[in-house]
Amino acid sequence: MTAHRPSVSFEFFPPKSPEMEDTLWDTICALAPLAPAFVSVTYGAGGSTRERTHTTVSRIVSEASLTAAAHLTCVDATRAEIDTIARSYWDAGVRHIVALRGDASDPDAGYTPHPDGYAYAVDLVSGLRDVADFEISVAAYPEVHPEAQSAAFDLDNLKRKIDAGATQAITQFFFDNDVFLRFRDRVADAGIEVPLVPGIMPVSNFTSMTRFAAMCGASVPAFLADAFRGLDDTPYERRQVAIELASRQCRELQDAGVSQFHFYTLNRAALTRAVCENIGVAAGGAEPAMAEMAR
């Protein structure tokens, strides 16, 4: 049974080249009519995309009629530098920050806090609260963050981020809904009352997704491998399977009372748009404005 129209948000990464920027802009044009609650732009590992993230978010704010959120991490920057970036977002009209610890740019190096920086996401959330009255999202891990001392420590870390002023949590992607629903129960038992938004990753490339999932500590159930087996050279069938699986995942979550979804779009519109339409997120009346914007 499908419930009310869910609220959706879309995550993009900042483009590296003019061609990628065109692709992103086409994607934004294709997804904007779905009237997302917000769209967010990631911040590269090691803070490597500081300018590109800023440029992309600013362009979304100034040219698209969409609410934009900027991801911001603690990596390789002093508190003063991060506060300055946050202030410049506020001045550019950005009211929502996704506050993260981030990872080292060299994955083998491990994370070391900057001596004058915010050590963990919780510290960044507190710092942002002093900069301006942002809406703040933080990350949550249904399968536990890979570096966490324990599941209990990780849950407590989430609670501390909320107590420091975060207004919602967005999860790492997952494919087993029971994992999310058990986590949602533990989050509620911990007294966390802000929205817990599941991160949904429609799978466009099974092989690269499994590599990425291993890095993030997200498990890949056997049914996914079975569904994509033998489809490497049949992009149309692969796409249909991807849409069907992600739609089914969202529908099951809707039946369990979930009404908000955050989509990891990988800067591509087709899968996310098809899944949204399958779960009752129809295109509204924003097409003309976006056509104008695309010129």
CA-to-CA distance for 162 and 219, rounded, in angstroms?
26
Tell whether residue 145 is a contact of ligand FAD (CB under 6 A). yes
Binding map of ligand FAD across residues 121-140, x = CB under 6 A, - = no contact: x-----------------x-
Which residue number, 83 or 123, has a Cβ lying nearer to ligand FAD? 123
For ligand FAD, give the closer residue by CB, 146 or 280.
146
**Closest distance between ligand FAD and the C-beta of residue 195, in Å?**
13
Helix (H) or strand (E) holding 12: strand 7-12
Q: Does 68 bind ligand FAD (CB under 6 A)?
A: no
C-alpha 60: how far from chain center: 16
Check residue 283 and report its DSSP letter: -
**Per-residue contact track with ligand FAD, 148 to 187, x per CB under 6 A?**
x----xx--x---x--------x-x---------------
Distance between CA atoms of residues 261 and 9, nearest Å: 6
199 touching ligand FAD, by CB under 6 A:
yes
**Contact pattern for ligand FAD over residues 92 through 121, marking x by CB under 6 A:** ------x-xxxx----------------xx
Nearest approach, Cβ of residue 124 and ligand FAD (Å):
8
Active site residue 11: yes
Helices 270-278 & 18-31, crossing angle to 10 degrees? 10
DSSP state of 210: H
Q: Distance between CA atoms of 189 and 186, rounded to whole angstroms?
A: 5
Residue 153: exposure state from Cβ atoms within 10 A (0-12, 13-18, ≥19): exposed
Map residues 43-62 to x or -, x wherever contact with ligand FAD holds by CB under 6 A: x-x-----------------
Interface with ligand FAD (CB under 6 A), residue from 9, 42, 67, 267: 42
Note whether 197 and 262 are within 8 A (CB): yes
Which is nearer to ligand FAD, 71 or 273 (by Cβ)? 71
Query: DSSP for 123-184?
Result: HHHHHHHHH---EEEEEE-TT--TT-S-HHHHHHHHHHHHHTT--EEEEEE-S-HHHHHHHH
The catalytic residues are 11
Enumerate binding residues for ligand FAD (CB under 6 A).
Answer: 42-43, 45, 71, 73, 98, 100-103, 120-121, 139, 145, 147-148, 153-154, 157, 161, 170, 172, 199
